[in-house]
Structure 1
Amino acid sequence: MISAAELVIPRFHDVLGDVMAHGHTHYWLYGGRGSTKSSFISVAIVLVMLANPEANAVVVRRFSNTLRDSVFQQMTWAIAALGLEKWFQARISPMELTYLPTGQRIVFRGADDPLKLKGVKFTKGYAAITWFEELDQFDGVDAVRSILNSLRRGGDRFWIFYSYNPPRTLWSWVNREKLERERRADTLVRQSSYLDVAESHPEWLGAPFIEEAEYLRGVDETAWRSEYLGDVTGTGGSVFNNVRAVRLSDAQCRGFSRVRNGVDWGWFPDPWRFVRCGWEPGERRLTIFAEQSAHRKTPAETGQMVVDALTYADEPGRDAFLHDEIVWCDDTPDGKQSMAVYRRELGLRARPARKSNMRRLSYEWLAGLREICIDPARCPLAYEEFRLKEYMRDRDGTWVDEIPDGNDHSIDAVRYAVMDDVLRG
């Protein structure tokens, strides 16, 4: 009898258990070369089908001419490895695998032929399983969502698998979407690499593969991390190389002796943004621990959001009260009017950040800190902006010493919050 656990590395054992228990709907698996994420998914798909007689699978790649030599071969490998060859029938045109006892099917489609995707029908059951292989090649999350909208019909339990090697560029849509997926309760995110395979099954890789990986590790560690570990290393143009993800407790958020608050004004499409930070000058560490964002809110409404954020108890069990903290704000003409509302109607100590000609200097001050710690759960918008901010490129793709504007509302709010410290520094 073949054990499925013997076909996947220990890194995926708990993921396989979660898949079989339907612990999540989405499984976001990324990593480097030789990480066996595709092998794991192919095994998981077959097992889910065997356990759910109504489940059919659709395997999708960006281009249909890549299906036969990649995912089709991968799925036939999984069937053979599980000892189920005599129970499945393979066809090439149309490309599909049929489980003979029930008539369940695994079909293969390219996203470059949307009519064939929309035309996927099953005589028995529904498309319970979808696998997007080489996800980074798709035209963005909207294209993926459109495909899912076509397929997710006729049932109430779905398994969606995504697999890819992360592009180096921080602003690639899959790298941005991965940050969002880490916050979603319906998604399990897992990174894997050849190192996970080498620990338990080095024979699956072979000595030449490992030797090549270790050679690259010695001569170009950044390229090795990108290619073999699946790390998002960036392309060398990151503005902030000092960002660190941390998880903060409520007690830690209350424990900062120097708190900085900042507001970046906005209406629509630019958002209004508010952040709270803890500043530790001796450690040269800034911790961003709270944020608020809004569209189409009046100054009175956003001011109340600030009041709510500053109203808390210093210790558990004590009464909450409004803390009299300075709120540093963008000093635009409209901002001055909004600050007047904050002060007059809500009693907030709203002050203009002296930002004149300070954009570049404040960016350099933040980039020069020892650490910018951000809680991704509490401050997902700030975490994404700081992680992904890159310098500008010229037409030839060469980095230039200029920081582009846009996608920086949380960064701006943080800059205003610490502008007084920047000026003193």
Structure 2
Amino acid sequence: MLFNDLINKKEKIAVVGLGYVGMPIAVAFARKVNVIGFDLNQEKIELYKSGIDPTNEVGDQAIRQTQVEFTSDETKLREAKFHIVAVPTPINMDKTPNLSPVEGASIIIGRNLTKGSIVVYESTVYPGVTEDICIPILERESGLKCGTDFKVGYSPERINPGDKVHTLENIIKIVSGIDEESLEEIAAIYEVVIKAGIHKAKSIKVAEAAKVVENSQRDINIAFMNELAMVFDRMNIDTQDVIEAMNTKWNALGFYPGLVGGHCIGVDPYYFIYEAERLGYHSQIILSGRKINDGMGKFVADAIIKKLILANKVVKKSKVVILGVTFKENCPDIRNSKAIDIIKGLNEYGINPYVTDPQADVEEAKKEYDIDLVDFNEIEDADCVVFSVAHDEFSHMSRQQVEKLFKNCPIEEKIIIDVKSILDKDLFEGLGYRYWRL
């Protein structure tokens, strides 16, 4: 069995794609077996080799101590018999799936594939991609036959970036294979690092569907809360007060309004919608939820403008500060960040906000969104401060620290937009600030 050869270090695992998902997998397996960590990004590989973790998922110390063999040389993949594909699967401008990363990974693996290998995809896809798109690429590039010369499986990633509690080892792992033999082999190999247990899906398509559905379900629930927030705003009712009251019931679901971005919840539903449309079904609930959540940045931007006008500010001359541009708290990942939509919404009114984020990479923000991040310690003289991401650096701020961000003007002209409800509303309203939250 391949499992025994891996444990006895006669064979190697290769992880293709060393980002927020691939790196934790590679590091976890490297504690037990020989691992090759492959990524096309030479700059990223050099960072890992020098002991730096740009994702902050496992930390610099773990990178320095790991036995992962980092490389951008695809021929090294020929030394591995168990391949894990953990490349991103984004969406195109028209919200359709962009499968080029997973197709590219399949081409690279295919031309370096050897007999007796197993390829497991972890990238989020719609049901059918692994078998209908990836396997034909592997066969074409390798000249080998799937099921005879090599096996394929699918095991959706469930890593929550920035979450130090629900880590790879502590999340039940869904696994699947093209046949019973591959399923058992894949399950046994993942059990080496997964403490929470393994769930064997009935088929690859079931495993693919489980991933997009679990994130679509969450997306819909947040969209419901976002719709309530927009309505309650018109009713002059505080949404958080309503949620606090509602959550006293035992079966309340505990969802909150907010910006829904990132590489999973903000993307996966579109994969499901795309395949449903292709099969002749027009999504109603899932698509509606996506539209609501995609519009929340603009809604927040409009709320900012209203508050500026009520404070008798000249809108175009107002200094607006955005605290946080990553897609979630305590995480450097800026992919599909909806804080960007707030910025774009303000741009429409002639406002170029000052943006700061201690977690985000300055060069990446410039390259991805053409944003020049400023140092938090240089923030001053603001008319409006927008708490868009609940980084610890922001959520732990004292009243005095918040006060230092504003210009010297009457307190009723100082505007706080608390998107994540991290501040004490009663305190700041009591002091006289113009305070607004979702």
TM-score by length of 1: 0.32
TM-score by length of 2: 0.31
> Larger RCO: Structure 1 or Structure 2 (Cα < 8 Å, ≥ 6 residues apart)?
1
